Structure 1
Amino acid sequence: MIERSHLEILRAVNQQGSLTAAAESLHLTQSALSHSIRKLEQQLGTDIWVREGRQLRLTQSGQYLLSLANRLLPQMEHAEMLIGQFAKGQRGTLRIGMECHPCYQWLLKVVGPYLESWPGVDVDVKQKFQFGGIGALFGHDIDMLVTPDPLHRPGLVFEPVFDYEQVLVVAEDHALAGKAWAEPEDLEKETLITYPVEIERLDIYTRFLLPAHASPARHKTIETTDIMLQMVAAGRGVAALPRWLVEDYGARIPVRAVQLGEAGIPKQIFLGLRERDREVDYLNSFMKLAREVRWS
């Protein structure tokens, strides 16, 4: 009844916007594409789409089939890619999604030794999934997610692999640079620079400022770590980053790390993967290596 080709047609029409463009992308004639859907409609006893002028509108049945296509086709394509790699004697590709701006530098410490240990496995790092990696895991766009803030969902497994401390970053001549730790009220006259992330996912807010009913004088966002630290060094604001990252940049940029509160803010980097993939040897090996590699 419902075949893969039907799902591919629906996805192509949705992506391309017209029957003509969809047919070209699938290397079919428009008549062959239309005939395939008409035959399916006859078998199912319902319309898949209806014409409204020059536009196509999916019916309720068509919308359901499109959602099915968006779930199943990526999994099938991923399986075919892996099987093709196995057939060529390759082990596969480990696709890692980043849901953490500063974690990229840490990841580089792991990838080098991993590639040496697994010559048959390629590694691809996808940063476009920053702060949206759960859907990417479920959609088989990635195989592993690097995140400091795991969102536990049925079917996913998250393992902690690296402990670190979130600290306040200030210029080396800042008044807070000499303090043992910063208090929330110390930031009330400061410009706080963060990555462009919802406040609900920023530890500097959820674990430091908001519990004390404090807020910075100004909040601005910057995407790039290097620019953020240059802004801090120039006295344009303060930021919150992992201590290991600040100490690494501190050798090149005049910034200092200050503990957030008397107890500090301990954090962990987690690696997440689909539960059914947890026994895949080269994924397990990456997790094991990630636990062993330490920042120095």
Structure 2
Amino acid sequence: MFHLSHLRYFYAVAQTRSIRKAAESLHVAQSAVSRQIKNLEEELGVPLFDRHPRGVRLTDAGQILAKYAQQTMLNLDRIRSEIDDLRALRRGTVKICTVEAGLIDILPQVIRDFRRRYPAVSVTLLTRGSQGVVDTILNDDADLGLAFNAPYHPDVEAVATQPQRLYAAVAPDHAIAGKKQVKLSELKAYPIALPDTSFGIRQLVDQIQQSAQLRIEPVLTTDSIQMLVSFARLGLGVAFLPFFAIKGEIRNERIAAVPLADHPARNANAEIIVHKGRQLPIPAEEFLDELKKALRLLK
């Protein structure tokens, strides 16, 4: 019969690929970890790890058990969270992975309001491109993801979406600043800055290039949304950004934003995503409610 301690020790070794590191993370002796692994292997009748001088590797049987051990550990986290909730302790951590644009306005405000209500709950915030947000959610390294035009994956679910048209962002005195809308083909003559290919923005621009048979040579490629904002604000050329990345700059008249007329740019979305089928911890569910409200305001 499996004991939780067996699975906890096994999962620690599977994650660290080292009995010594697992023992350190569990604050127990290496011999205790080795004994638990041995007991588990005897009970199952198969080796779970291949031992080698640099550590351990999961066997095929170990990989099967690791999959179920991970789900068990996630379920245990929820049990603890729900028990804490019943006892009104409200402790825990919400783990969020977001595109950088989410850091500019929406998430700081949501975190502020959430922390006022639940001061004992901490927040861990990771920043990635849209592809990285999806990967982080799939790896269960975050509870919630905020992405722009996230790439499809069958195991990722969008629990809230808000249309976020893509804009050509420029300085207020730029030649295109007064236009009602503009096509990508009309911007080829201007210096252009693009994010790298892990960003939903870049994937949209690449779709437009492909459908319109265009080829844009950016003068700047970056993994920073803030750099794209600065590029536009300082009059260096054209950057492509969603509204929630630049609404403060527009409000303060530091940037002019012209909607892109090309079809893919008109149908982009900001999305809150989760790992399909995963039960969220209670603090993450309550944070999700706050984030959904904030997303609906992005118009």
Mark the CA change 1:240 to 1:123 in structure 2 (over 3 Å): closer, same or farther: farther
Displacement of 1:89 after TM fit?
0.7
Displacement of 1:46 after TM fit?
1.6
Q: Which residue number in structure 2 is paired with residue 290 of structure 1?
A: 294
Instruction: State TM-score, norm by structure 2.
Output: 0.76
Q: Where does structure 2 lack aligned partners over 5 or more consecutive residues? A: none
Is residue 171–residue 256 contact of structure 1 (8 Å, CA) maintained in 2? yes
Is residue 188–residue 216 contact of structure 2 (8 Å, CA) maintained in 1? yes
Q: Which residue number in structure 2 is paired with residue 149 of structure 1?
A: 149
Displacement of 1:97 after TM fit?
2.4
Q: Which residue number in structure 1 is paired with residue 96 of structure 2?
A: 97
Displacement of 1:53 after TM fit?
4.8
Partner secondary structure for residue 181 of structure 1: coil
- Tell me the alpha carbon deviations over residues 212-267 of structure 1, each in whole angstroms, 9 at most, x when there is no partner: 11122226333433332222233433211123543421455743212212776243
Q: Distance in 1 between matches of 2:122 and 2:206?
A: 34
Residue 261 in 1 paired to residue 261 in 2? yes
Q: Distance in 2 between matches of 1:251 and 1:290?
A: 18
Q: Which residue number in structure 2 is paired with residue 29 of structure 1?
A: 29
Mark the CA change 1:165 to 1:293 in structure 2 (over 3 Å): closer, same or farther: same
Superposition pairs for residues 215-294 of structure 1, below 5 Å? 215-218=215-218, 220-243=220-243, 245-250=245-250, 254-261=254-261, 265-273=266-274, 282=286, 285-286=289-290, 289-290=293-294, 293=297
Q: Distance in 1 between matches of 2:34 and 2:288?
A: 46
Which shifted more, 241-250 or 197-206?
197-206
Is residue 97–residue 133 contact of structure 1 (8 Å, CA) maintained in 2? no
Is residue 168–residue 260 contact of structure 1 (8 Å, CA) maintained in 2? yes
- Tell me the alpha carbon deviations over residues 179-237 of structure 1, each in whole angstroms, 9 at most, x when there is no partner: 33322222334443233343776354145332111122226333433332222233433
- Tell me the alpha carbon deviations over residues 19-71 of structure 1, each in whole angstroms, 9 at most, x when there is no partner: 33322332333333222222222222222224345643432222332343334
What root-mean-square deviation, in Å, do the aligned CA atoms of Structure 1 and Structure 2 show? 3.7
Matched to 2:7, the amino acid is: L
Superposition pairs for residues 1-296 of structure 1, below 5 Å? 1-53=1-53, 55-76=55-76, 78-91=77-90, 95=94, 97-104=96-103, 105-113=105-113, 118-119=117-118, 122=121, 124=123, 126-128=125-127, 130-131=129-130, 132-134=132-134, 136-137=136-137, 140-150=140-150, 151=152, 153=154, 156-160=157-161, 162-198=162-198, 202=202, 204-206=204-206, 208-218=208-218, 220-243=220-243, 245-250=245-250, 254-261=254-261, 265-273=266-274, 282=286, 285-286=289-290, 289-290=293-294, 293=297
Is residue 94–residue 283 contact of structure 1 (8 Å, CA) maintained in 2? no
Is residue 159–residue 272 contact of structure 1 (8 Å, CA) maintained in 2? yes
Q: Distance in 2 between matches of 1:251 and 1:155?
A: 34
Instruction: State TM-score, norm by structure 1.
Output: 0.76
Mark the CA change 1:167 to 1:97 in structure 2 (over 3 Å): closer, same or farther: same
Matched to 2:160, the amino acid is: E
Matched to 2:40, the amino acid is: L
Number of aligned residue pairs: 291
Larger Rg, first or second structure (1 or 2): 1
Is residue 110–residue 290 contact of structure 1 (8 Å, CA) maintained in 2? yes
Q: Where does structure 1 lack aligned partners over 5 or more consecutive residues? A: none
